[in-house]
Amino acid sequence: MVDDHRQRILLAAARVYAVQGWRGATTRRIAEEAGVNEVTLFRQFGSKEALLDLMMHECSRIDEAAILPREPSEPGAELLHWVSAHHAGLSGRRAMVRQMMSDAEERPDAGHCAAHNASTAAAHLREYVVQLRRHGWVLAGDEITPTEVRAAVTLLMGAVFADAMNRDIMPMLYTEPLDDTLRAYVRIFLRGIGAPKEPVALRERTVDRLPSSTFPFSV
């Protein structure tokens, strides 16, 4: 019963905050949205700041992102699935992420919460690229530098982030359907890191010839 109330208030706070931001998320509005008395809010959480801080941390704990397989078998399809899931997650939290990023100027903690998901997702993608390389999906010895591979990761992550954040308010930029766009993102990304569309002829033990230490991805 107790936790039920706390949860309801936290969810209400998240909804109000996503639309109205920190200053607009008044204790009155949150209480009204939760269907509780305003005083209950203070008795449960102490202050507005404590409540919103907790809410933001709870929100950033959610990791609903799809998982990239450890052993790549179909990079294009796997990446598309993962990117779609990541985009969907970001898109669903769009309003809240926007508020957090604007609050980052005054409340660094909000920025941290907004960055958390993106950071872990980027780490997953980096690890996946390492595996791609390990399993011979990436043409080694290219003119593609390790820095460029790292940049390709932030390029893809950034493009998906911007797409999720801006597609609704920039119709001039995002004219093509979401599906086609994400598919193209993935294709360009794979081309960018030197992975051909067709499966590379499986060279046996490419791993031995490309020790992971030469690759600058530790995590």
174 binds DNA (CB under 7 A): no
Name the minimum Å distance from CB 13 to DNA.
11
17 binds a copy of itself (CB under 8 A): no
Q: How many residues bind a copy of itself (CB under 8 A)?
A: 60
Site for a copy of itself (CB under 8 A): which residue of 123, 139, 202, 207?
123
The amino acid present at 40, given as its one-letter code, is T
27 binds DNA (CB under 7 A): yes
Name the minimum Å distance from CB 3 to a copy of itself.
29
**Which residue spans within 61-116 are E strands per DSSP?**
none
H or E element that contains 106: none
Q: Which does 58 bind (CB under 5 to 8 A by kind): DNA, a copy of itself, none?
A: none
Contacts of range 139-147, beta carbons closer than 8 Å, 24 or more positions apart: 139/194, 139/195, 139/196, 139/200, 140/206, 140/209, 140/210, 142/194, 144/192, 144/193, 144/194, 146/215, 146/216
Q: Which of residues 44-103 bind DNA (CB under 7 A)?
A: 44, 47-49
198 binds a copy of itself (CB under 8 A): no
H or E element that contains 87: helix 75-92
Q: Which of residues 21-50 bind a copy of itself (CB under 8 A)?
A: 21, 23-24
Pick from 141, 126, 148: nearest CA to 218: 126
7 binds DNA (CB under 7 A): no
